[in-house]
Amino acid sequence: MQFILDKIAKFYESSIFIYGMALLLVYALLGFFSFIAIRRYLRKESYTNYDHLLTSPLTPGISVLAPAYNEGLSIIMNVRSLLTLNYPRFEIILINDGSTDNSIEQLVKEFELVPVDFAYNAKLKTQPVKTIYKSTNTAFNKLVVIDKVNGKSKADAVNAGINIAAFDYFVCTDVDCILDKDTLLKLIKPVMDEKSKRVIATGATLRIANSCTIDSGVILRMKPPRQLLPRFQEVEYIRSFVLGKMGWTLVNCVPNVSGGLGFFDKEIAIKSGGYDPQSFGEDMELMTRMCRYAYDNKIDYAIRYIPITLCWTEAPVTVKIFMRQRTRWARGLAQLMYSHFKMLFNPRYGRAGLILMPYNFFFELLAPIIELTGLIYFISLLVAGRVNTEYALLLLLFGYSYSVMITTLAILWDQMTFRYYKTWREVLFLCSTTLFESILYHPLIVIFSMRGYFYFLTGKKHTWGNMQRQGFGQVTAKA
């Protein structure tokens, strides 16, 4: 018996060693790839004149979709902010997903809306649309408001928006997100700049708005969040977007275009079936389905990311809300892997099947499980007195220093892109956060992910996540 147990333990240890080394290698590669991708982007950007796009009659139109549920606290300011986007041909489609607050009354009054006889074509099935509004004031002629029955998911609301979108491309954002005024110009550039591939989606970096100075929906001054939990998220976002997704974009293997801000090819999105209202990670799920559709229909596609920050979102400040968010994300990932398991290691799906899905499976889905089992195994060895303390601490220090190095590298790439914070002290403040991330923040992620997997397995019910936002006031932080 002891012999078998020893053999299992040996096998486990060897597997974990290989897994760990592979993970470190992936991060090193991503660091290298992202450096090349950012350098290329910046060089191209220095020769780009966006004014041509602003004045050209050839500029493609874009529909901006903003679903909202009980966002009455900030809805007017956010819609006003969306209407000021710097682009010659766009429409804002605000989808009020059966809010129980006075969002719709506020909108009708503020933007002089009237119900219109709109020929609604439900290409994607959604909950019924009650009324579609347009403004009688020409200043707001870019705005369309859909008032629909609550679909219990953001996906259902966005699908209704896609159904009435007039243009070939749409941008999906959250109504509480703050967008850079040049967002549409920057997001369409990779589509127009592609030689042979069809760009089916584009994404950009998201940041945390919590401590930024904001006035009337415009970021006046970027600052790292003062509170620890949002600051950890800022660091995580920088690593994920600037290092991770920029690295993946170089090899055309972007796993996901964020729900906070994503640019999509409408035709492919509709033909793929639109957002899945049953999914907890609807953005990633749609992306995977769009890739799958492209492979099935032999469309040579590309998904692109740009390293500059175009969107700011309010991060959860309490552990309770953060737990809800991360549980939902983990559940969405488990759901995605389950429903698209056929793609895993399937050469028919090219890079998506051979690189993307295996990465998601091993290093995203399994990572929390492996970490937790590893911790349990380590404690059992500790109790049995079979741990060489010196070696164990060296290995811990090895993992810790590597993770700090990778995150610091991501901050460097971010600063290379643009000097987002005004002072050196703020950058240092953010860098210092990386020292505590693996000790304080990462364990939370592991626990909440396990919670998400548990809910996935037990099939707990789901509704629109209530983020309990504080909203962005006129000026949310003192300059």
Partner 1 sequence: MAILVLNPLQVTNFFMPAIRNFAGLPVIMQIAICFIIISVALIVYIQFRLFIIRYKGHRLEQKKAKLVPFIDGLITEHILMRTDIDSSSDVNSIIIDTAAFNTPQLSGKESRQILIDRIISYKKGFSGTIALLLRKLYQDLEFDKVSYKKMNAFKWSKKIKGIRELVDMDAPISDVIVLPLTNSKHRELRAEARNAYIKLSKNEPFKFFDISTEPLLMWEQIELFKTITTTKDISIPNFARWITYSNNKSIISFCLKLIVHYKQTDAAPAIVKLLDNKDHTLRAEAINTLGKIKYLPAEDQLIHLYTNQPLTCQLEILKAIGRMETGRNIQFLKQEFLYSTDFDVRKNAAKSIIMSDAQDLIDELFQSSTPENKLILKHAMNPLIKY
Report the interface residues with partner 1, using CB under 8 A.
17, 24, 43-44, 46-47, 49, 52-53, 55-60, 91, 114, 116-119, 121, 134-136, 141, 166-167, 189, 191-196, 390-391, 393-395, 397-398, 401-402, 404-405, 408-409, 411-412, 415-416, 419, 424, 427, 431
- CA triple 86-193-160, angle to 5 deg: 55
Phi, psi of 458 (to 5 degrees): -95, -10
To partner 1, the closest distance from the beta carbon of 460 in angstroms equals 37
Of the two residues 25 and 379, which places its CB atom closer to partner 1 in the complex? 25
Smaller CB distance to partner 1: residue 90 or 455? 90
When the beta carbons of 397 and 457 are compared against partner 1, the nearer one is 397
In the complex with partner 1, the residue whose CB is nearer, 105 or 193, is: 193
- Taking the complex as a whole, the smallest distance from the CB of residue 77 to partner 1 amounts, in Å, to 24
Helix, strand or coil, per DSSP, at residue 46: coil
Rounded Cα–Cα distance for residues 216 and 476 (Å)? 10
For 133-167, letters b (16+ CB in 10 Å) and e give: bbbeeeebebbbbbbbebbbbbbbbbbbbbbbbee
Give CA separation, 337 vs 281, 400, 425, 447, 456, in Å: 11, 29, 42, 19, 11
Return the number of the residue (24 or 366) whose C-beta is nearest partner 1: 24
**Other CB atoms within 10 Å distance of the CB of residue 418:** 13
In what helix (H) or strand (E) does residue 135 lie, and over which residues does it extend? strand 129-135
Phi then psi for residue 72, to 5 deg, are: -55, -25
In the complex, what is the shortest distance from the CB of residue 394 to partner 1, in angstroms, rounded to a whole number?
5
Shortest Cβ 194–partner 1 spacing (Å): 7
* Beta carbons of 144 and 95 less than 8 angstroms apart: no
* Cα distance between residue 368 and residue 401, in whole Å: 20
Question: What is the C-alpha separation between 380 and 192, in angstroms, rounded?
Answer: 57
How far apart are CB 127 and partner 1 at their closest, in Å?
A: 19
Q: Tell me how far, at minimum, the Cβ of 99 lies from partner 1, in Å.
A: 23
As measured in angstroms, the least distance from the Cβ of 91 to partner 1 is 7
Q: Which is nearer to partner 1, 14 or 468 (CB)?
A: 14
Q: 62 or 178: whose CB is closer to partner 1?
A: 62
